[in-house]
Amino acid sequence: MINAQTHQEKFAWFITGTDTDIGKTLVAGAMLRALTKMSVRNAGMKPVAAGATLSDGVWHNDDVDTLASEASVVLPQELATPFLLRQPTAPHIAADQEKRTIEISHILACYRRLAEQVDALVVEGVGGFRVPLNDREDTADLAQRLALPVVLVVGLRLGCINHALLTVEAIASRGLSLAGWVANTVDDQMLNCAANIAALNDRINAPLLGHVPRIKGLSGKELITAVVSHLNFSRLLGWPEFRGLPLK
């Protein structure tokens, strides 16, 4: 098991969500943007990404590219995303299609090398908290082996209270700390959105970092800028301001 405090980087978090396409990358990108503004050397890591397109001889994934564009230190893709898979499907299936096996031990080795080069590392999971990675392990096993505080992104739509509370229980069952959570609107027609957020806030024993509304018509850095404006990372447990780190 990795203890982030034993490495050169002073800060690290694992970003998970209540499902896939729930806004994890938006939140991770916003965190990197905020850290960069604080002059904290940072990098993003998405150990497993499923769904890639070939451009100029290089395989690209939108989530991976977003994290790289927001990080203050861009590190080799083979370290930041050791398992970049082509099919946009469950990662263990995509890996099987390529005759590969997603190995947590290799991800941990890449994490260590990344952590030596930055002061903050934002690690984004794939899909929800318990997505299979191979025949024996899933993303919860990866999070447990990394032993990082977790940031949960809750996709606001019908059923989100159940999904969020089950995920919170799963995080706790792995002995992990929930450092904060974000409410991200997935369905902008959802009824009683504010009441759902209030119900979750009453039941989740971690700070609410903010509510991101459905943002339309923006992409790339403009979208991240809009997301940042709705979040307050000073509430996040372990954020640099709470550690008293002298910032430049």
- Residue 171: CB atoms within 10 A of its CB come to 22
Query: Annotated catalytic residue: which of 24, 46, 99, 221?
Result: 46
Residue environment code for 101-126, b if the CB has 16+ CB neighbours within 10 A, otherwise e:
ebebeebbebbeebbeebbbbbbbbb
Q: Provide the β-strand partners of residue 14.
A: 123, 150
46 is catalytic: yes
CA distance linking residue 30 with residue 23, whole number of Å:
11
The answer to whether the CB of 196 falls within 8 A of the CB of 164 is: no
Strands (E) across the chain are located at 11-17, 42-45, 48-50, 53-55, 58-60, 83-85, 120-124, 150-156, 178-185, 208-212
CA distance linking residue 171 with residue 63, whole number of Å:
23
- Residue 247: CB atoms within 10 A of its CB come to 11
Question: If we measure between CA atoms, which residue out of 3, 28, 33, 31 comes closest to residue 15?
Answer: 28
Could you list the active site residues?
A: 46
